[in-house]
């Protein structure tokens, strides 16, 4: 035993021999082999020790060893607060229970085991050496290279190590690795139940089923490979690659310039941010969700909810759902389909000949180029649209005041297209199949229109005023012998001429149906017979290459209520009823009828059996002067100042009946007050009422 002050150099300990180095003792250059042992106790120190085959050294609490050589078959134990520095290991070193080691080198055939309570820092593992960190053990720093291996077992942890070329690290279930640097040629494998955090990867990181990696940085030449069932979150691809295998998942990956995220069949990526110069590849049967794209995303599988921003491109050869394309972004559907896509102002959508867009929306300032097919397409006011030969629309589609449209577009059999407002499609040819082509509003333009016999071509003019601009203008004269043409009006359509289509040439007596909603009122023949319905005559005229619908009313009677009250019967034409002070019943109105009520006493009137339309015109009254209540189909209107003064309308229909506040009506007052009004007074009163009711332009 070496005690305080004792120094022994170059001792050889063999064959069950032992040496104890206690407080103050120093052993130097000792050789331990063949069953020999050395114990370095509290306060003792040993340096330059060689531990050969069968030799054992134990450094316990307070003991210090340095520059020890552990040869093949030799064993060193660092326990209970013992410490070793700069050991060279070709045998076995076991560090546990509060022991600590720094600067160790583990060589071929050597093994360092860091177990419960043990710590190792700065270990160099190379040439086939192995470092094992078991439950409760901790290793920090260090370098693993040249066929060296670091194993992190259940409950063990490793921090800040570098895995160099030829080196490897395995992290078993329950193990934890933090801040690893995996250099080119180095490898880390994380198994089920294990976690890695903050790795810097220029080599390769494998994540097995059930493994997790957080916040890895993958540099050029580096790969993060999520094997079947592996998971990663917050990876940054700074020129590196992320591979996502079947059933693997990656969340929140940032793909910088030069980086590539590749989700293979069955893989899943969510919340990726693909920056300028970065790429994401979604293979067949893989799924991507909620990507932010300022670089390039190639989709052969499925992409859900992507946002494509300035400089970004989503290229679809599979399926994309709910893509949003912002200013400067591009959506290109090469094959496959994009559904519920929205191209916003400054964004661009391109559908190639083999591609399909389903239920797409193009907002004002957005652009869509169609060479393939689209269904359920909606172009908002201010959108820009172009079509090439072979472009086809199916399903239900709508163009609202499109800023510009060009090319040649076909409607598939059974498809419909509604063009509303000032849709500037002056450079577009439209070829309509066995479906519906509808124009709503005024100002639409087309270069050419060609329709089949069974094509329904409908014009809705309900929101137009008489004399407004033409609903549709064609670029040149189009002779059209086929198609089923119709015009839809409202029950309160203003009288006058409505320009329907310019430069459409049809034969005399071509039949056009005129409808009120879904109800056909009658048939008007071009420059031929018109028809009358509910007091209105409908005639279809062609002049100077323009087809127009002309509405006119036949004046009915000017009727007055009485002080005594009674029945007032309307005619089949357009009548005007002025209330008296008694309780009158106005019935059987079949035309465009008007009933006028003012500040005078109303009595308690009833209006019933109106088959035509009815406008209740209130002169010298405001909306705030009356009350109205609807019970079932019975409308009751009363004066606020005197609720007994009221008018009840049976069979109220908001499509046929209306309330109008006309202000001062001098011509009507003059007629109403005259005991024997002249024909001129009656005409002036009628014209004034019709204008107030919106039946005539005024």
Quickly count: other Cβ atoms within 10 Å of residue 373's Cβ.
24
Higher-scoring residue by pLDDT: 420, 297: 297
Residues 6+ apart with CB under 8 A from 255: 237, 242, 261, 272, 273, 274, 275, 278, 279, 280, 295
Contacts of 654 by beta carbon, 8 Å cutoff, 6+ apart: none
pLDDT computed for residue 10 by the predictor: 63
| pLDDT at residue 133 in the model | 98
C-beta separation of 459 from 486 below 8 A = yes
Bridge partners, residue 39, by sequence: 20, 58
Q: What ranges make up the beta strands (E) of 395-462?
A: 396-400, 404-411, 416-420, 424-432, 436-440, 444-451, 456-460
Range 121-126, long-range pairs (CB < 8 A, 24+ positions)? 124/148, 125/149, 125/150, 125/167, 126/167
> What is the distance between the alpha carbons of residues 474 and 500, in angstroms, rounded to a whole number?
11
Beta bridge partners of 356: 337, 373
Strand locations in 16-108 (E): 18-21, 26-28, 31-32, 37-40, 45-47, 50-51, 56-59, 64-66, 69-70, 75-78, 83-85, 88-89, 92-95, 100-102, 105-106
77 close to 35: Cβ distance less than 8 angstroms: no
Picking from 219-233, 460-474, 562-576, 678-692, which range would have the lowest pLDDT averaged per residue?
460-474
How many CB atoms are closer than 10 A to CB 587? 15
Supply the pLDDT for residue 8: 59
Q: How sure is the predictor about 4, in pLDDT bands with cuts at 50, 70 and 90?
A: low
Residue-level pLDDT at 7:
56
- Cα(191)–Cα(214) distance, integer angstroms: 14
Res. 362 pLDDT band, cuts 50 70 90: very high
At residue 285, the 3 state secondary structure works out as coil
The percent of residues above 90 in pLDDT, for the chain, comes to 74
Q: Would you place residue 424 in the very low, low, confident or very high pLDDT band (cuts 50, 70, 90)?
A: low
Cα–Cα distance for residue pair 243/250, rounded to 1 Å:
9
Distance, CA of 563 to chain centre: 67
In this structure, what token pair is assigned to residue 86?
A: 């700069």
pLDDT band at 337 (very low <50, low <70, confident <90, very high): very high
Measured distance CA(152)–CA(511) in Å, rounded: 87
Burial class of 484 by CB neighbour count within 10 A (0 to 12, 13 to 18, 19+): middle
165-185 residue pLDDT tens = 999 999 999 999 999 999 999
Strands (E), 490-554: 496-505, 511-516, 519-525, 531-533, 536-543, 546-553
Predicted pLDDT of residue 267: 98
pLDDT at 477: 86
Evaluate if residue 5 carries a pLDDT over 60.
Answer: no
Query: Looking at residue 196, what is its pLDDT?
Result: 98
Q: Confidence class of residue 425 from pLDDT cuts 50, 70 and 90?
A: low
pLDDT band at 475 (very low <50, low <70, confident <90, very high): confident
> pTM of the entire structure?
0.82
Q: Are 76 and 95 in contact (CB under 8 A)?
A: no
Task: Tell me: pLDDT of 304 over 90.
Answer: yes
State yes or no: pLDDT of 691 exceeds 90.
Answer: yes
Closest residue by Cα to residue 183 from 150, 217, 222: 222
Burial of 631: CB neighbours in 10 Å, binned 0-12, 13-18, 19+:
exposed
pLDDT value, residue 217: 98
Handedness of CA 640, 641, 644, 649 (dihedral sign): negative
Using 50, 70 and 90 to split pLDDT, how confident is the model at 389?
Answer: confident
The confidence score (pLDDT) of residue 446 equals 84
Range from 448-462, 508-522, 634-648, 673-687 carrying the lowest mean pLDDT:
448-462
Q: DSSP class of residue 290?
A: S
Give the residue with greater pLDDT, 385 vs 326. 326
φ and ψ at residue 324, rounded to 5 degrees: -115, 125
The domain locations on the chain are 427-553, 555-692
- 8 A C-beta contact, residue 565 and residue 580: yes
433 and 412 in contact (C-beta within 8 Å)?
yes
Across 73-100, average pLDDT: 95
Choice among 119-123, 357-361, 558-562 with the minimum mean pLDDT: 558-562
How far is the C-alpha of 87 from the C-alpha of 57, rounded, in Å? 12
Cα–Cα distance measured from residue 408 to residue 528, given in angstroms and rounded to the nearest whole number: 34
pLDDT confidence of residue 325: 98
Strand ranges for 276-318 from DSSP E: 279-282, 287-289, 292-293, 296-299, 302-304, 307-308, 313-316
For the cut 60, the answer to whether the pLDDT of residue 1 exceeds it is no
163 has a pLDDT exceeding 80:
yes
Q: What is the pLDDT of residue 524?
A: 97
| Predicted pLDDT of residue 340 | 97
Is the pLDDT at 154 greater than 60, yes or no? Answer: yes
Laid out side by side, the sheet with 626-631 consists of 566-569, 584-587, 604-608, 646-649, 634-639, 626-631
pLDDT of residue 448: 84
What tens digit of pLDDT does each residue of 602-617 get? 999 999 988 888 999 9
Give bridge partners of residue 262 from the DSSP assignment: 243, 281
d(CA 470, CA 441): 9
The residue with greater pLDDT, 675 or 375, is 375
Helices of type H across 565-639: none
The dihedrals phi and psi of 253, each to the nearest 5 degrees, come to -70, 135
Radius of gyration of the CA atoms of the chain, in A: 45
Give the C-alpha separation, 661 to 617, whole Å: 6
Indicate the DSSP class of residue 671.
H
pLDDT at 434: 74
Mean pLDDT of the chain: 92
- Stretch 138-163: mean pLDDT, rounded? 97
Q: So what's the pLDDT on residue 374?
A: 95
Give the list of residues 6+ apart from residue 693 with CB closer than 8 angstroms, or none.
492, 594, 615, 617, 658, 660, 662
Residue 331 above 90 pLDDT?
yes
Q: What is the mean pLDDT of residues 650-677?
A: 92
């Amino acid at each position: 035993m070496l005690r305080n002050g004792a120094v022994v150099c170059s001792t050889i300990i063999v064959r069950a021999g032992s040496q104890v180095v206690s407080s103050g003792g120093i052993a130097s250059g000792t050789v331990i082999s063949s069953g020999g042992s050395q114990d370095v106790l509290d306060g003792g120190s040993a340096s330059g020790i060689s531990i050969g085959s069968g030799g054992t050294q134990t450094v316990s609490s307070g003991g210090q060893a340095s520059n020890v050589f552990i040869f093949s078959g030799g064993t060193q134990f660092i326990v209970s607060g013992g410490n070793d520095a700069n050991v060279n290991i070709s045998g076995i070193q076991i560090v546990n229970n509060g022991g600590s080691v720094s600067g160790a080198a583990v060589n071929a055939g050597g093994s360092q085991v860091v177990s419960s309570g043990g710590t190792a820092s700065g270990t160099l593992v190379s040439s086939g050496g192995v470092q094992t960190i078991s439950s409760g053990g901790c290793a920090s720093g260090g370098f693993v290279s040249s066929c060296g291996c670091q194993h992190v077992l259940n409950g063990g942890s490793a921090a800040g190590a570098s895995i160099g070329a030829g080196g490897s690290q395995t992290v078993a279930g329950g193990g934890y690795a933090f801040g690893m640097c995996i250099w080119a040629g180095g490898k880390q494998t994380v198994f089920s139940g294990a976690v890695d955090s903050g790795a810097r990867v220029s080599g390769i990181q494998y994540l097995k089923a059930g493994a997790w990696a957080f916040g890895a940085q993958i540099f050029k030449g580096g790969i993060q490979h999520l094997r079947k069932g592996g998971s990663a979150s917050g990876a940054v691809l700074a020129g590196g690659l992320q591979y996502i295998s079947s059933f693997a998942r990656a969340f929140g990956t940032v793909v910088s310039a030069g980086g590539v995220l590749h989700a293979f069949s069955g893989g899943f990526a969510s919340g990726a941010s693909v920056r300028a110069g970065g790429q994401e590849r979604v293979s067949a049967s893989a799924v991507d969700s909620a990507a932010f794209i300022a670089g390039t995303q190639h989709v052969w599988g499925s992409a859900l909810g992507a946002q494509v921003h300035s400089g970004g491109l989503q290229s679809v050869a599979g399926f994309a759902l709910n893509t949003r394309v912002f200013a400067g972004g591009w959506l290109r559907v090469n094959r496959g389909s994009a559904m519920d896509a929205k191209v916003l102002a400054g964004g661009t959508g391109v559908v190639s000949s083999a591609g399909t867009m389903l239920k797409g929306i193009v907002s004002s300032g957005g652009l869509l180029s169609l060479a393939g097919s689209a269904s359920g397409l909606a172009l908002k006011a201010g959108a820009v649209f172009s079509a090439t030969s072979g472009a086809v629309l199916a399903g239900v589609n709508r163009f609202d005041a499109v800023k510009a449209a060009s090319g040649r577009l076909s409607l598939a059999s059974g498809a419909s297209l509604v063009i509303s407002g000032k849709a500037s499609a002056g450079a577009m040819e439209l070829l309509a199949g066995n479906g519906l082509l509808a124009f709503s509003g005024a100002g639409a333009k087309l270069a050419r229109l060609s329709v089949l016999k069974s094509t329904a071509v409908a014009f809705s003019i309900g929101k137009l005023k008489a004399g407004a601009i033409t609903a549709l203008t064609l670029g040149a004269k189009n002779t059209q012998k086929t198609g089923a043409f119709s015009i839809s009006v409202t029950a309160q359509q203003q009288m006058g001429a409505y320009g329907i289509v310019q430069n459409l040439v049809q034969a005399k007596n071509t039949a056009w149906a005129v409808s009120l909603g879904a109800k056909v009122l009658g048939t008007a023949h071009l420059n031929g017979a018109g028809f009358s319905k509910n007091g209105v005559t409908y005639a279809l005229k062609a002049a100077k290459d323009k087809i127009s619908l002309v509405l006119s009313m036949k004046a009915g009677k000017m009727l007055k209520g009485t002080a005594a009250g009674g029945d007032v019967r309307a005619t089949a034409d357009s009548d005007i009823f002025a209330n008296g002070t008694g309780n009158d019943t106005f019935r059987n109105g079949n035309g465009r009828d008007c009933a006028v009520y003012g500040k005078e006493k109303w009595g308690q009137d009833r209006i019933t059996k109106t088959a035509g339309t009815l406008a209740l015109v209130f002169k010298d009254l405001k909306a705030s002067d009356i009350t109205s209540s609807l019970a079932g189909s019975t409308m009751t209107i009363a004066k606020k100042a005197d609720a007994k003064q009221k008018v009840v309308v049976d069979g109220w229909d908001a499509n046929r009946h209306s309330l109008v506040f006309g202000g001062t009506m001098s011509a009507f007052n003059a007629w109403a007050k005259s005991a024997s009004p002249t024909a001129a007074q009656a005409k002036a009163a009628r014209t004034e009422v019709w204008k107030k009711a919106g039946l005539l332009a005024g």
